[in-house]
Structure 1
Amino acid sequence: MAGAGTAVSLAGCLSQEGPGSEGGEDWEPSETMRYIVPYDEGGGTDVYARGIVEPLTDAMGQDIQIDNIPGGGGLNGFGELYSSEPDGHTISGSAVPLEVTPQLLEDPGFDQRELEGLGIIGRSTWCLIVNEEYEGEVETFDDVREKHNSGEWESIGIQEPGSPQHIMTLLAKHEPEYADEYDWQWEEQVQYTGTGPIAEAVTSGEVPCGIGTDAGTRPNVDSGGVYPVCTFYSEGTDVYPDIPSVTDEGYPSMDFVAGVNRGLYAPPETEQNIIDELASRIEEATQDDRYEEWSEETGNPIFFEGPDAANAAIDDAFEEFQNLNIVDLVEEHS
Structure 2
Amino acid sequence: MTMTRRSLALLAAVPILARPALAAWPDRPARIIVPFPAGGGLDLVGRLLAEPIGRAIGQTIVIENVAGAGGAIGIDALSRAQPDGYSFGISSGSTITLGPQLRATPYDPWALTHISRLVVSPFLLVAGTDTPYTDLAALLQRMRQRPDSVRFASAGVGTSTHLGIEWLNQKLGTRTEPVHYRGAAPALTDIYARNADVLISDATAWPLVQQGRLRLLAVSSAERWAPSPGTPTIAEAVPGVSFDNWYGLIAPGGVPAPVTERMAAESARALARPEVIERLEASGFTPAPLAGPAFAARLRTEAENWRGVLAAGNITVG
Provide the TM-score with structure 2 as the length reference. 0.79
The answer for the alignment partner of 2:143 in structure 1 is 148
1:81–1:191 CA distance, 2 compared to 1 (3 A): closer
Matched, 1:166 2:155: no
Matched, 1:82 2:79: yes
1:194 CA drift (Å)? 3.5
1:276 CA drift (Å)? 2.0
Matched, 1:276 2:261: yes
The answer for the alignment partner of 1:52 in structure 2 is 49
1:210-229 mapped onto 2 (5 Å cutoff): 210-215=199-204, 217-229=205-217
2:297 match: secondary structure:
helix
In the alignment, the residues of structure 2 paired with residue 273 and residue 40 of structure 1 have an alpha-carbon distance, to the nearest angstrom, of: 31
1:277 CA drift (Å)? 2.2
Is the Cα–Cα contact under 8 Å of residues 117 and 289 in structure 2 kept in the other structure? yes
Query: Which of 25, 43, 49 in structure 1 is aligned with 2:19?
Result: 25
Is the Cα–Cα contact under 8 Å of residues 125 and 198 in structure 2 kept in the other structure? yes
Which structure 2 residue ranges, 5 or more long, are not aligned?
Answer: 1-15
1:184–1:210 CA distance, 2 compared to 1 (3 A): farther
Higher mean C-alpha displacement, 157-166 vs 143-152:
143-152
Matched, 1:127 2:124: yes
1:152–1:44 CA distance, 2 compared to 1 (3 A): closer
Residues paired across the two proteins, number: 299
Residue identity matched to 1:218: W
- Identical amino acids, percent of aligned pairs: 19
1:121 match: secondary structure:
strand
Higher mean C-alpha displacement, 267-276 vs 49-58:
267-276
In the alignment, the residues of structure 2 paired with residue 307 and residue 86 of structure 1 have an alpha-carbon distance, to the nearest angstrom, of: 17
Higher mean C-alpha displacement, 280-289 vs 231-240:
231-240
Matched, 1:291 2:271: no
Which structure 1 residue ranges, 5 or more long, are not aligned?
Answer: 1-21
In the alignment, the residues of structure 1 paired with residue 218 and residue 250 of structure 2 have an alpha-carbon distance, to the nearest angstrom, of: 31
Residue identity matched to 2:21: W
1:37–1:245 CA distance, 2 compared to 1 (3 A): same
Provide the TM-score with structure 1 as the length reference. 0.76
2:38 match: secondary structure:
coil
In the alignment, the residues of structure 1 paired with residue 74 and residue 179 of structure 2 have an alpha-carbon distance, to the nearest angstrom, of: 27
Matched, 1:69 2:57: no
Deviations 1:62-107 (A, max 9, x none): 2212222223332333233323333333221112234444433443
1:30 CA drift (Å)? 2.3
RMSD between aligned alpha carbons?
3.1
The answer for the alignment partner of 1:18 in structure 2 is none
In the alignment, the residues of structure 1 paired with residue 55 and residue 306 of structure 2 have an alpha-carbon distance, to the nearest angstrom, of: 38
